Chain A
């Protein structure tokens, strides 16, 4: 059967979710999908739109994963809105006049902002708040503002978001709301009062119960003044030249109306439980649909509808029967949550309220008439209990005897010991229940929230349920009798971060002192290198000095990376990936002379593999003589700072990314850390250096540098998140200094920055508070620690070469220093050496069929017994035995 044609009208959040769901589940490739979009860019996060004013870029907001649009059965036509549907012919026509045939049509046209019919609303400087274009226009108006004052008409959820946007654009901001309170759909009067106190405290003017009678423009047609028809304190109006209307939404149902499909009383395409319209070939989802007579203005129900339609298109029978309208968000820094029957409209409902005007907290819990179950609630100022309380809605028999305890401060919701039923939904974004989370914990032996996220997706979208996940994890582990131990290993009861503080604060300088005073035994492969790393981070200095030599894992001990056959790889530092022709030639000569396999790494370095222990100092000598130094590829330390050529060569580059990369690499080289650290600098938004996959990523902008933190590749790839935008170089370096030192101090062993950030309460926002706002008062210490590192850096190869005692370890045999390990056998492949495989070894050692040149004829008092002789035979194709060491 050839594929059927699905046409999706609109590429907003919901339309995109449909495409994702279908592409994920349509294993048989039964649908060809065409998306016809009005907007000029693919789907983006409209919910997170205000982040656009605080540094997020269009790319950051994009919902479309890399490569998604390249799917052979998906085409997305941007800027090509549908203008008509011909139901009889089953075709749609677009504005440019193209016609598309469909077997199934999905309307996902969303909504448009409602602008109340206020006279003068067409004046320049009046805006709505829905698209990136709207934001650009608001931004432009703010820049040209003469009054410096902006007004948002509408005090709902989106209106307060818009107010936040105006405020972040530097305008004196007012909110005008027709209803007697803010967020009238989510909170009650008392909650509205509490919210109002918070918002006026931020310097935003709040005018509730206020009607805007008209908007007056100046001679140029620019809005100049709002005139009020009603104001509780008799204010006649406000002088302002930026106005944003945010007075609700209306479904974009005009296509449906024009082709004769039924629409609801208040608009919206009427659909059944399968999200199907009156025409069996046409569906409608998201804000343009009226499901059960209701238009949903939140994204979660839209996503649910998208999933239903994907299922129906593939022959399923999923249905949409209404949605949880629970909301939890942080508006202007204030927690607001509303869930279930928030207003207590159920017959006999019993409300319990708690209010603390001093701290600005208001909580309301609505109980059933028998006080046995939770119906809903409102939380303002502190929504910490949201997860528990929302999950309790509808559950019976789970309430404590005194339900008020659930919202009283001392009780502390999550800590009340309330046992949630298995079906309680914990993560509403990804529809994960308590039962699923508990099963994931016990089935996979999970011990941290990151593991729960990985197994269930819970907590990976809005993150509001993460505190709940922590609580459930703690309860589950406690019930199983598992104590989550922070102990590093059997020798220390402390975590790495605790040991770090012990060493730092008590001035401990040796591992033996540390383990004698705070641990037990001799240590092990876990705690000894951790001790070495902590001592190196704090004191810097030569990593193989004295007793510290005995702590280092072989890689740090030999200053090279051990390979599977006991040989090592050598990587000289090429800061920023830059290399002179002379250095390149020298590296080639060294590789040739020592018979090393040569490969380019992902971090813009040259890796020389197969070096014997006894050859390492000779190799370093050659490299350091030419001015090269250790690249620390063996260390839990800064590895590489990758870069593109930037504005120096590239026609798109806007900053000198290579120079910055070199400067950063030279600044942080040798810094010992809990795990490896990778960085990159891109010279423009095209991001050729792939900076967002690094722990520290820097991307040039016209104005400076955007700093991204906490990315990594590996088996759980993660994009770094934007930390700050348009920084000057000095500020950028200061932030990176502090980020690295804060990480070095507090992360767990082998915890990359991504997992570390994730493990912090508050995540990257907490990092920002610590290193940009100095909330812990430690920035000066962090700065000093980094300055100490920079001042005391030394090239470990050079130091080792100058130390005759240290050099003694670079032998295979202490009683035959010139004898190489005879069991190391390399063969040639594609003109380069590689370790011999088992069959090859057997043949080579037996010496019967293949020639092997004896390793190196050094005098020894013991024959190692692998003299395979030099008898000739035919080598296997592509396989030539080789000397493994250069002649001296």
Chain B
């Protein structure tokens, strides 16, 4: 796996996202307040603006989601599914936290929750 070291875990605010460049792709990395770090594509497929890292994190039912800051659609942070529009999906990136550093892999690679 070609991991990109994007930042220290401490650089991420709990329950907020940050944008990162991973092999040329724009990625949104989220550190949840209860531990896990998740990464998805940063591009909001509905507005096509690179803004998902600035959305609010929350839950919809059992799913952990990010809400697009533009029109509030919810995206599952684990599967990439859009819960408010059919057949819309964002790429999901694997994340590892190693020695306090956050490592993000290319989209579509085997999913692991750090």
Binding site for B on A (CB under 8 A): 490-491, 512, 521-525, 527-529, 547, 549-551, 553-555, 557-558, 562, 564-566, 613, 808-809, 811-816, 819, 821, 823-824, 860-865
Contact = CB atoms under 8 A, between A and B. Distances in A.
Interface-centre pick from A512, A558, A809, A861 (highest chain B CB count, 10 A): A809
Nearest to B23: A862
B33 A524 contact: no
Contacts, number: 120
Contacts of A566: 47, 49-51, 54
B58 A816 contact: no
Given A550-B16, A821-B26, A862-B24, 19 more contacts: A490-B60, A521-B59, A522-B64, A525-B67, A525-B72, A525-B74, A527-B58, A529-B56, A547-B14, A547-B15, A549-B16, A550-B33, A551-B56, A562-B70, A813-B26, A814-B6, A815-B5, A816-B20, A865-B24
B21 A815 contact: yes
B19 A553 contact: no
B100 interface: no
Nearest to B60: A524
B53 to A, nearest CB: 9
Interface-centre pick from B24, B29, B64 (highest chain A CB count, 10 A): B24
Interface in B15-40: 15-16, 18-24, 26, 29, 32-33
Interface-centre pick from A528, A550, A554, A566 (highest chain B CB count, 10 A): A566
Contacts of B74: 524-525
A760 B1 CA distance: 61
Contacts of A565: 47, 49
A836 to B, nearest CB: 12
Contacts of B21: 813, 815-816, 819, 860-862, 864
Contact of A522 (B18, B19, B59): B59
Contacts of B16: 549-550, 557, 809
Contact of B20 (A524, A558, A814): A814
19 contacts: A491-B59, A521-B59, A524-B56, A525-B74, A547-B15, A549-B13, A549-B16, A550-B13, A550-B15, A551-B56, A557-B16, A566-B47, A811-B18, A814-B18, A814-B29, A815-B5, A819-B21, A821-B19, A862-B22
B64 to A, nearest CB: 7
B51 A562 contact: yes
B70 A564 contact: yes
Contacts of B32: 522
A555 B69 CA distance: 8
B76 to A, nearest CB: 13
Q: Is the interface of A mostly helix, strand, loop or mixed?
A: loop
Please provide the 10 A-B residue pairs with the shortest distance between their CB atoms, ordered closest to farther. Answer: A550-B15, A554-B69, A524-B58, A566-B49, A525-B67, A522-B59, A521-B59, A814-B18, A862-B21, A815-B6
A813 B20 contact: yes
B22 A522 contact: no
Given A564-B49, A821-B50, A823-B50, A808 B20 contact: no
Contact of A554 (B11, B55, B59): B55
Contacts of B47: 564-566
A812 B50 contact: yes
Q: Is the interface of B mostly helix, strand, loop or mixed?
A: strand
B78 interface: no
Interface-centre pick from B13, B64, B74 (highest chain A CB count, 10 A): B13
B61 interface: yes
Interface-centre pick from A527, A812, A861 (highest chain B CB count, 10 A): A812
A555 B33 CA distance: 21
Contact of A553 (B4, B15, B56, B59): B56
B60 to A, nearest CB: 7
Nearest to A860: B21
A815 B7 contact: yes
A553 to B, nearest CB: 6
B92 interface: no
A433 B4 CA distance: 68
B24 A863 contact: yes
Nearest to A523: B58
Nearest to B51: A566
B8 to A, nearest CB: 9
A522 B58 contact: yes
Contacts of A864: 21, 24, 26
Interface-centre pick from A525, A529, A809, A860 (highest chain B CB count, 10 A): A525
Nearest to B64: A522
A31 to B, nearest CB: 47
B51 A554 contact: yes
A558 B56 CA distance: 12
Contacts of A824: 50
A305 to B, nearest CB: 51
Contact of B54 (A522, A558, A860, A862): A558
B82 interface: no
A811 B19 contact: yes
B57 interface: yes
Given A814-B18, A816-B21, A862-B22, A523 B69 contact: no
Nearest to A805: B13
A523 to B, nearest CB: 5
Interface in B48-91: 49-51, 54-61, 64-65, 67, 69-70, 72, 74
Contact of B57 (A512, A550, A613): A550
Contacts of B29: 814
A595 B26 CA distance: 24
B13 A809 contact: yes
A821 to B, nearest CB: 5
Contacts of B24: 862-865
Contacts of A551: 56
A553 B16 CA distance: 10
A815 B20 contact: yes
A556 to B, nearest CB: 10
B35 to A, nearest CB: 12
A525 B58 contact: yes
A814 B74 CA distance: 23
Contacts of A554: 51, 54-56, 69
A562 to B, nearest CB: 6
A447 B32 CA distance: 36
Contact of A814 (B7, B51, B58, B65): B7
A522 B57 contact: yes
B18 A809 contact: yes
B105 to A, nearest CB: 14
Nearest to B27: A813
Contacts of A564: 47, 49, 70
B36 to A, nearest CB: 12
Contacts of B61: 490
A642 B49 CA distance: 34
A814 B4 CA distance: 12
A279 B14 CA distance: 83
Contacts of A562: 51, 54, 69-70
Nearest to A520: B59
Nearest to A529: B56
A821 B42 CA distance: 11
A815 B33 contact: no
B49 A814 contact: no
Contacts of B64: 522
B7 to A, nearest CB: 5
B67 A524 contact: yes
A555 B61 CA distance: 25
A558 B54 CA distance: 9
A340 to B, nearest CB: 52
B22 to A, nearest CB: 7
Contacts of B49: 564-566, 823
Contacts of A865: 24
A862 B57 CA distance: 27
A525 B56 CA distance: 6
A613 B23 CA distance: 22
A823 B24 CA distance: 12
Nearest to A554: B69
B84 to A, nearest CB: 11
Nearest to A527: B58
